Chains A and B, each alone.
Chain A
Amino acid sequence: MRVIIADDSLLFREGVARILEEDGFEVVAQSPDAAQVPALVMSHHPTVVVTDIRMPPTNTTEGLELALELRRTHPEVGVLVLSHHVETHYAMQLLGDDPSGIGYLLKDRIDDLDEFSSAVRRVASGGSVIDPLIVTRLMGRKREQDPLEKLSAREKEVLALMAEGRSNQAIAASLFLAEKTVQAHVANILQKLGLHPDADDHRRILAVLTYLRSLGRS
């Protein structure tokens, strides 16, 4: 898997490059800003781009705009956006109406090296990754009438993992359950929340996040 890393800190780029290379990725290019990345993508044909959200020149949302641009120009390239602050607003903007090959993680998640590598791999192979903190916030948001109370603790765990963008197989592995059991939980959850049952793994993250986000908002 070919990776391009964009971040204005050389130290950070080198660090990320080293872990990814250790884990079998091929880092084909690095960029200190967002502007050079489209050209690098054209010439290096990466599988995935890992980018910081804040980069020169304005240090605001350059990485986010880069991701949205690459979605249009190179939908086959996965983009993982890293940020010091995670905001639901940005996550939803990134996912747009096609969540495949998109990830949004808190930058410090990187200190769990294996988890980070696996997130890059999921995005590279067309999956979605949403930071657990966002999911925690969305699920933890206080509501006057909370439909999530209809869910069992286990179902809530499954829902959170769904919202992070994990597949049934991954959820099963993570919760030490049989995949069939997870499938049953998923069906129950979708039914209890009134969501469409036949959303596939890729699409259901959007349905779940949109649903969670709409809860409690007037």
Chain B
Amino acid sequence: MPAPRAPAVRVLIAIVLGVSGIAMAAFVAWIHQNAFPNTPVQLALKLIGILTFLGAGLAATARHPESRTGPLMIGSAFAFVAIEIQAHPSPALQYAGNWLGGMPHVLLAHLILTYPTGRFSSRRDKVVVTSAYILVVGLGFLFNHFPYVTWLLSAGVVLTFVVVLLGFERWARAKGALRRALRPLPFASLVFAAAGFRNAVVVFFFVSGNDLVRWIEASSWVLGIATPLVPITFLYGFAQTRRARGALGDLVVQLDSLPETEHLQEALARALRDPSVRLGYWSRETQTYVDAEGHAVQLPHPSDTKRAFTSIEHMEEPLAVVVHDVALIGEHELVEAAVAAARLALVNERLQAEVRAQLEETRASRARIVDATDAERRRLERDLHDGAQQRLVSVSLALRMLQRKAEREGIPLSNELGNAADDLRAAIDELRDLAQGIHPPILTEEGLVPAIDSLVERAPFPVRVEMPDDRLPSSIEATIYFTVAETLTNAAKHSRAKRAEVMMQRTNGWLDLEVWDDGIGGALVEAGSGLGGLADRVAAVSGTMTVDSPPGGGTKVSVRLPCE
């Protein structure tokens, strides 16, 4: 494709062509007035024919600069002058007119066999049109030297019918968008055939001396009216392809904003201009196609005369199916393009769904790990309680009874037994604290407020607590409890805090916890540290934790959890 000319140059060329076309029309009108006075209707038809070709040519060139159809139509408009100057008084112009009188006809053949690109799609068509040009340009001058060159005319008639046949064939074979674009061809070919037929009849019957004036006049009328319609139908054909492309462009634009599934079906219906379009999504679970509501989408049988379907695949896996009017099978390119655009949206949608599912799965597995950890802690605490603690208490009881017996019976083991029992008592205390730290039973049994209160009772500084006394899911309660416990422990151990606050509130499905102390700050959230472990735990229940702990400015741990 040649590089398109700059717009300014194109406009200039169009103006020059338009002005010279109009000047030419005026010239034609002048010749006509002199040669055939008092025939204004015939003149009007001629001018309409010339100006329609000129106007349509300019319009087509402006809208489709890549196509040569526009220049060919403009060329046709100028070629009509060749016929008109046959009636000019100047012998030189008459000579030229007789020579090139076939040019409009050849240009029309050129148009028919190359529309809509203006370029030949086969060598055969090119040979036919080139032959026609050679006949006219190379041999047309003979008409000035012999009354009627019958063999030359016969060749012209043969070529005319070949072009008509080829034109119909092009139309008949075309499919989809091209067929829509080629809709003008049958009409143009008919007009072209009629013009050729008329010329042949005129010439041959003049030769045989018949009087056909009335017939010639009648056919002139028909052709005079039909000819201007040819460029108009070509323009109509252009508009058809344009409309299909426009709808596809709209589809892509709509898909760009990731429509809801129902909108995708509507967008496809608009792009394909088939309101009956149904979009089915491939369901991996059921191995069938379902619509946006989850209802099964029935695929039409291949022998169905009304409905057909086009499937959309991605990575060799079904993605979706478009069930549409059977007529769209012919519009292969259009359906392909629409499906390609839809595939983009669907693949995007599926990828997003997969990422969401994976995130959800990760979140769920983290939550399961936390739940399992909590359950394990509870089990451990119970085992300690029911096993070791219980036994140790019984042993301590036995020791004390031995000690008492030793005392009463004067056996000098009393002190040793007493010391052993004291050590055991200390061990029991330690074990109790350990079990309590692993998982405080009161949290499961009574909930957050008594459990936090129990923590706060033992804190070495005053702690103000404000929280609603609701029972929450156990993973949430445990998360809150361990956050408060860890933060208060840190404050007691490292931050030299003098007081602290624990504030919790629930709003609109969120639970906000703030634990603050007035200590030295500088707390860090690090992997492996207490705060780092808390952050992981909070994230596992889809929450967020922030720690604000400027050196010397206290520490504020804020936790936000989703909580219905």
Q: Interface on A for B, CB 8 Å cutoff?
A: 8-9, 11-12, 15-16, 18-19, 22, 54, 59-61, 84-85, 87-90, 107-108, 110-113, 137-138, 140-144, 216-218
Known A-B contacts A15-B397, A89-B454; A108 and B391 likewise in contact (beta carbons under 8 Å):
no
Known A-B contacts A19-B401, A108-B425, A111-B425; A88 and B453 likewise in contact (beta carbons under 8 Å):
yes
**Does B470 reach chain A (CB closer than 8 Å)?**
no
Structural contact, A111 and B453, CB atoms closer than 8 A: no
Structural contact, B393 and A110, CB atoms closer than 8 A: yes
Structural contact, A108 and B453, CB atoms closer than 8 A: no
Q: Which residues of A contact B386 (CB under 8 A)?
A: 8, 54, 59
Render B55-96 as a binary contact track against A, CB cut-off 8 A, 1 for contact: 000000000000000000000000000000000000000000
Which positions 384-421 of chain B face chain A at CB distance < 8 Å? 385-386, 389-391, 393-394, 396-401, 404, 421
Which positions 458-498 of chain B face chain A at CB distance < 8 Å? 458-466
Q: Which residues of B contact A141 (CB under 8 A)?
A: 456-457
Instruction: Give B441's nearest chain A residue, CB to CB.
Output: A85
Structural contact, B444 and A111, CB atoms closer than 8 A: no
Q: Which residues of A contact B394 (CB under 8 A)?
A: 9, 11-12, 15
B128-136, B142-150, B428-436: which one contacts chain A?
B428-436
* 21 A–B contacts from the bound complex (CB under 8 Å): A12-B393, A12-B397, A16-B397, A54-B385, A54-B441, A59-B382, A59-B385, A60-B445, A84-B389, A85-B436, A87-B450, A88-B457, A89-B453, A108-B393, A108-B432, A110-B393, A113-B404, A137-B458, A142-B460, A144-B499, A218-B465
Structural contact, B400 and A113, CB atoms closer than 8 A: yes
Known A-B contacts A15-B397, A59-B386, A89-B453; A108 and B428 likewise in contact (beta carbons under 8 Å):
yes
**Does B19 reach chain A (CB closer than 8 Å)?**
no
5 pairs of A and B residues whose beta carbons are closest in the complex: A89-B450, A15-B397, A11-B394, A142-B462, A137-B457
Structural contact, A60 and B397, CB atoms closer than 8 A: no
Structural contact, A18 and B401, CB atoms closer than 8 A: yes
B417 to chain A, nearest CB (A): 11
Structural contact, B442 and A89, CB atoms closer than 8 A: yes
**Does B317 reach chain A (CB closer than 8 Å)?**
no
Structural contact, A216 and B462, CB atoms closer than 8 A: yes
Render B328-351 as a binary contact track against A, CB cut-off 8 A, 1 for contact: 000000000000000000000000
**Does B446 reach chain A (CB closer than 8 Å)?**
yes
Q: Which residues of B contact A107 (CB under 8 A)?
A: 393
B467 to chain A, nearest CB (A): 10
Structural contact, A85 and B499, CB atoms closer than 8 A: no
Partner of B464, one of A8, A16, A60, A218: A218
Structural contact, A144 and B462, CB atoms closer than 8 A: yes
Q: Which residues of B contact A18 (CB under 8 A)?
A: 401
Structural contact, A113 and B393, CB atoms closer than 8 A: no
Q: Which residues of A contact B436 (CB under 8 A)?
A: 85
Instruction: Give B384's nearest chain A residue, CB to CB.
Output: A84
Partner of B400, one of A11, A59, A88, A111: A111
A12 to B457, CA, bound (A): 30
Q: Which residues of A contact B424 (CB under 8 A)?
A: 111
Known A-B contacts A9-B390, A87-B450, A87-B454; A15 and B398 likewise in contact (beta carbons under 8 Å):
yes
A164 to B470, CA, bound (A): 31
Structural contact, A142 and B441, CB atoms closer than 8 A: no
Most chain A C-beta atoms within 10 Å of own C-beta, residue among B394, B459, B462: B394
A111 to B429, CA, bound (A): 13
